[in-house]
């Protein structure tokens, strides 16, 4: 059994894999991380773990986990199952590394565009020959709402709504239209540009806003909220060989 931990900007995803099968997962806050991890290690008799962190992980917390299990910390120098052609590999986020690893494992011999819709919206492209070329980083939905409020004097801070009209008839509905329709148009437009340049393109949508966006996008995609966790498990397995 493998313990998989993804420490993001706003939450921690923790999961258990039996070989390639996801058998348990939950989302927790930082306060419960160590206790939850140790409980899962003991409950599922985990032998190996991988931790990916783009947030704040204290050394003392890591040390408590290492007492219980062999831990791989995902870094830019970790052995990976694809060719990294990023111009600045040391600055590539470990979350993006995990997503590409999932893509080359699940969609072999395919061009894959991975869209992670979370705090930021990231686009990552990997070719049929497992060459990772890079992508793009854009503000996520929540960040767009927050910036409109923070950098203006009168615009309110809103949260996303399920129903959004194209034409806003009030300040609030105009904000919803601008944020949500703007994100949807951006993602659809980028997918179209990739499709024009790459045949047989597979598009995977993941991240916290994946389910919200999946039915709103015009382009055919595979929505998989666990894609990053699957990628981390792929990297762990690859390093255990």
Query: For the chain, what is the domain count?
Result: 2
List active site positions: 95
Both 14 and 105 in one domain: the answer is no
Both 16 and 109 in one domain: the answer is no
* Residue entry with tokens 């910036």: 147
Task: Please give the model's pTM, rounded to 2 decimal places.
Answer: 0.92
Please check if 70 is assigned to a binding site.
no
Please check if 6 is assigned to a binding site.
yes
Please check if 63 is assigned to a binding site.
no
* Residue entry with tokens 């894609």: 227
- Write out the DSSP string of 185-225: HHHHHHHHHHHHHSTTEEEEEESTTHHHHHTT-SS--EE-T
Last residue of a domain, one of 54, 73, 92: 73
241: in domain: no
The predicted pLDDT at position 107 comes to 97
The predicted pLDDT at position 53 comes to 87
The predicted pLDDT at position 191 comes to 96
Both 100 and 212 in one domain: the answer is yes
Please check if 95 is assigned to a binding site.
yes
The predicted pLDDT at position 220 comes to 82
Q: Give every residue of the chain whose pLDDT is below 50, as ranges.
A: none
pLDDT digits (tens, 9 = 90+) for 89-116: 999 999 999 999 999 999 999 999 999 9
* CATH number, domain containing residue 45: 3.30.420.40
5 class by beta-carbon count within 10 Å (0-12 exposed, 13-18 middle, 19+ buried): buried
184: in domain: yes
238: in domain: no
The predicted pLDDT at position 110 comes to 96
Distance CA(145)–CA(140), nearest Å, equals 9
The predicted pLDDT at position 123 comes to 98
237: in domain: no
For residue 219, what are the domain limits? 83-232
Both 96 and 200 in one domain: the answer is yes
Please check if 152 is assigned to a binding site.
no
Task: Find out whether 89 and 43 touch, Cβ atoms under 8 Å.
Answer: no
């Amino acid at each position: 059994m493998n313990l998989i931990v993804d420490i993001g900007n706003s939450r921690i995803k923790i999961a258990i894999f039996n070989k390639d099968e996801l058998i348990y997962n939950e989302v927790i806050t930082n306060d419960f991380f160590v206790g939850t991890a140790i409980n899962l290690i003991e409950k599922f008799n985990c032998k190996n773990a991988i931790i990916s962190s783009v947030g704040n992980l204290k050394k003392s917390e890591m040390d408590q986990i290492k007492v219980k299990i062999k831990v791989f910390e995902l870094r830019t120098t970790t052995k990976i199952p694809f060719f990294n052609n990023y111009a600045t590999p040391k600055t590539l986020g470990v979350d993006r590394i995990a997503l590409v690893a999932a893509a080359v494992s699940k969609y072999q011999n395919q061009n894959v565009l991975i869209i992670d819709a979370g705090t930021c919206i990231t686009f990552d492209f990997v070719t049929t020959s497992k060459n990772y070329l890079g992508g793009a980083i854009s503000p996520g939905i929540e960040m767009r709402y927050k910036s409109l409020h923070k950098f203006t004097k009168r615009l309110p801070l809103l949260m996303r709504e399920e129903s959004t009209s194209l034409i806003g008839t009030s300040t609030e509905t105009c904000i919803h239209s601008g944020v949500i329709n703007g994100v949807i148009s951006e993602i659809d437009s980028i997918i179209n540009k990739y499709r024009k340049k790459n045949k047989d393109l597979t598009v995977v949508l993941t991240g916290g806003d994946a389910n919200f966006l999946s039915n709103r996008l015009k382009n055919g995609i595979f929505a998989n909220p666990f894609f990053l966790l699957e990628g981390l498990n792929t990297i762990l397995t690859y390093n255990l060989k």
